[in-house]
Amino acid sequence: MQPTAMPSAWGRIFLPFALGYFLSYLLRTVNAVISPALTAELGLSAAHLGLLTSTYFLAFGLAQLPVGIALDRFGPRRVEGVLLLVTALGAVMFALGDSLQSLGVARGLIGLGVSACLMAALKGFALWYPRDRQSSMTGFIMAAGALGALAASSPLEAALPVLGWRGAFWIIAALALVAALVIHRGVPEAPAAGPHGSLRDALRVLGGIYVSPAFLRFAASSAAFIGSFMALQSLWAVPWLMSVDGFDLAQAAGMLVVLNLGSLAGQLSIGLLGVRLARRGVEPLTLLRVGYVAMLLVQVAILFSFGPSLMTWFVFGFFSAVNSQSYLAAARAFEPALFGRVSTALNLMAFAGAFALQWGLGYALDALRAQGHEMAAALQFSFAGLIAFQVLGYLPLLFRAPAHEPRA
């Protein structure tokens, strides 16, 4: 039986989750703008900065397995409401941090705290919205994340002279507390799903998901495409824009706005057209295949400076919107009761990719510069490697996986 949207679903379900995901994406990308201040205050190398920023992805990724089990067992309201309190604690610790170690622990707590924001929303949509509306709702929730990324670009850069990066994190801590309260009071309790079995059974099913060909084909593309986009958006886009394109910090932050506006436009397009496309037989996998080819082409254009930066970065953001369809495409290869575990397992792959690529790019840049390359040339070599990695991740999507999926 397909779920049907509740009469007050927009206010009770979508808006609370949208607030949480807005905050999640703001925290994911905030270091891109405050990185010059962090580097100057703490004397960080590129590798240190990449490691500090990527601790968010590491903690976020490690949380995905227990979060997936918890979402299927306890529902999105309880899980996300509690974890957003952890987000508030991490933001307070970041505001007080005075060393690489203390800031790294704080950012790890932040990553843990927001680790359920998107998956809880998708689980809620699976519970309370019909199948043909889920692509649209996924597009809309991702648009809320794009708004968070926008808030972490030029608006934050403009506020830094007044607030400082520490003041900004005190405000973020307050927002996290508000989001936890809104979700606790607004989101309905998940309907009873019957007996769940033992934890051992849950782990056995989870292990079956990870070795399923239906899952592995999406794991590769998620690590490559979602991981690469997050690594660029949350940190390395600003050094690229400043070193390769010659922008100052304010201009680079403005280009982040352009990137995130493109992402917002792409997500809204999926949100507005998703129901129509679904009713015409356009599945999430089709959107992935077409969108990823477009992402590769526009990244080649950025690498070789084809076209104005304003256009290429906007288009890059626009086509990145298809990343959200990975979760729906992967989950539909399994029975609905496994939605939380499948989507969080895939998210683990995406964030593992983001962690490895963001930190790895920092080490690659340090190594290339130690060999005498200028920063601009080092970034160009690293970006070319990033594109090649995505091409490899795309290949499994071209083949149909055998039907071999574990059941709850």
Taking the alpha carbons of 89, 31, 308, 312 in that order, is the dihedral positive or negative?
A: negative
Instruction: Report the interhelical angle of 15-42 vs 249-279 (nearest 10°).
Output: 150
Task: Report how many domains make up the chain.
Answer: 1
Using pLDDT thresholds of 50, 70 and 90, give the confidence band for residue 1: very low
> Which value, to the nearest 10 degrees, does the dihedral of the CA atoms of residues 304, 308, 309, 311 take?
-120
Is residue 19 one of the residues assigned to a domain?
yes
- pLDDT over 90 for what percent of the chain? 36
DSSP label of 222: I
Taking the alpha carbons of 159, 265, 321, 406 in that order, is the dihedral positive or negative?
A: positive
Is residue 137 one of the residues assigned to a domain?
yes
Taking the alpha carbons of 112, 117, 118, 123 in that order, is the dihedral positive or negative?
A: positive
For residue 22, is pLDDT > 70? yes
Is residue 408 one of the residues assigned to a domain?
no
> 93-120 burial string, b = 16+ CB within 10 Å, else e?
bbbebeebeebbbbbbbbbbbbbbbbbb
Is residue 4 one of the residues assigned to a domain?
no
Please give the residue range of the domain that contains residue 57: 9-187+198-398
What are the tens digits of pLDDT across the range 333-350?
888 778 778 888 888 898
Is residue 405 one of the residues assigned to a domain?
no
DSSP label of 322: G
What are the tens digits of pLDDT across the range 310-335?
999 999 999 999 998 898 888 888 88
Structure tokens at 101: 């170690």
Using pLDDT thresholds of 50, 70 and 90, give the confidence band for residue 7: very low
Is residue 213 one of the residues assigned to a domain?
yes
Is residue 193 one of the residues assigned to a domain?
no
Is residue 214 one of the residues assigned to a domain?
yes
**CATH number of the domain that residue 251 is part of:** 1.20.1250.20
What are the tens digits of pLDDT across the range 65-113?
888 888 888 888 999 999 999 999 999 999 998 888 888 899 999 999 9
